[in-house]
A = this chain, B = another copy of it.
Amino acid sequence: MAKMKAAVFVEPGRIVLDEKPIPEVGALDALVRITTTTICGTDVHILKGEYPVAPGLTVGHEPVGIIEKLGSAVTGYHEGQRVIAGAISPSGHSNACLAGFHSQDGPDARHGWKSIGGWKLGNTIDGCQAEYVLVPDAMANLAPVPDGLTDEQVLMCPDIMSTGFGGAERGGVRIGDTVAVFAQGPIGLCAAAGAKLAGATLVIGVDRLPARLQTAKALGIDAVVDAGTVDPVDEILRLTDGRGVDVAIEALGSQATFEACLRVLRPGGTLSSLGVYSADINVPLDAFAAGLGDLSIVTTLCPGGKERMRRLINVLAAGRVDLRPMVTHRYKLDDIEAAYELFAHQRDGVLKVAITP
């Protein structure tokens, strides 16, 4: 049985490069040879043991590659085709999918983590920080990549672009809106780009890291607020003449940012939450307007599936956004442990790391 290299979770604190068999291809699967992948903040949660996965699991959920082999029941693709797949890989045929909740695919019952059945790669099945990955339900998930786009150009589609744009979309951002985005890491930057793309006329990015605020400006965000030097709630109310924002996007997963989002909303506004939280949230009575503010709070797990990828690729192909500046570092798969070391500690202004086997 042929072997491949893969980044494997061993125990909290240890993800190591190991050898594993190249997986067998089931009827609905596709085996994809990875050409580029990356590390996500969630992978760091896995590394630290904050998000539990099975020891021995291959990590990674952002694949760009070439179809190596198709399952016997898979039609509509050919081997050698260049593709991406979303971080979330819906089957398309579950009740959740057919009801439109593709990220919540899987068993209908829900408790705690089981709710996110649509996230499989690098979570419940082997992921793509490896030479090969098995993409389940290939017909629902593989999206061809046009020749004109490089691997690095589409590398953000599987997760952070889909998640970030999803935050703007679920927030209902529309022409003329004012939007605040709390945290300007990769997800927040994509959320801000998505909000602008959807017609927001004032997009305000908030962070404490000057480098990230600078990147935000470079990506065309209208205004930035340094939460390390001013109170962001006060500053946003000032920037909006006391009116508050139509949509506030939470892109960190912390109490402070969640609460600040609520406090900057106009009456009837929407808090669109993208963060992965690691503790209970306190909702202050006044920030919640005692339940009388006609407020909405929506959460979004990264939309996946090939149609989603197709649309995001369209956005890139049309040049509407350019996310290449987000790839700040490049590593070989052989050096992925070093890449984790850099990324987990947010060293050297890292935003995203391209990994090539």
Copy number in the complex reads 4
CA distance A293 to B88 in the complex (A): 13
Q: Which of B27, B100, B281 contacts A288 (CB 8 A)?
A: B281
CA distance A266 to B116 in the complex (A): 11
Instruction: Report A43-72 residues with CB < 8 Å from chain B CB.
Output: 72
Stretch of A13-21, A272-280, A340-348 that contacts chain B = A272-280
A175 touches B315 (CB 8 A): yes
How would residues 113 to 133 of chain A score, 1 for a CB under 8 Å from any chain B CB and 0 otherwise?
A: 101110100000000000000
CA distance A76 to B298 in the complex (A): 31
Q: By the criterion of a CB under 8 Å from any partner CB, how many residues of chain A are at the interface?
A: 95
Judge if A82 is at the interface, Cβ distance under 8 Å: no
Q: Which residue on B lies nearest to A297, using beta carbons?
A: B297
Judge if A95 is at the interface, Cβ distance under 8 Å: yes
Given known A-B contacts A268-B101, A305-B98, A310-B95, A293 and B194 have beta carbons under 8 A apart: no
Output the residue of A97, A110, A244, A318 with the most chain B CB within 10 A.
A110
A92 touches B95 (CB 8 A): no
B318 touches A290 (CB 8 A): no
Instruction: Report A250-266 residues with CB < 8 Å from chain B CB.
Output: 253, 265-266
Judge if A5 is at the interface, Cβ distance under 8 Å: no
A104 touches B201 (CB 8 A): no
Can you report 18 A-B residue pairs in the complex whose CB atoms are below 8 A from each other? A92-B92, A92-B97, A95-B306, A98-B140, A101-B267, A108-B243, A110-B267, A113-B290, A115-B292, A168-B175, A174-B198, A175-B311, A175-B315, A280-B284, A282-B283, A291-B299, A292-B299, A296-B299
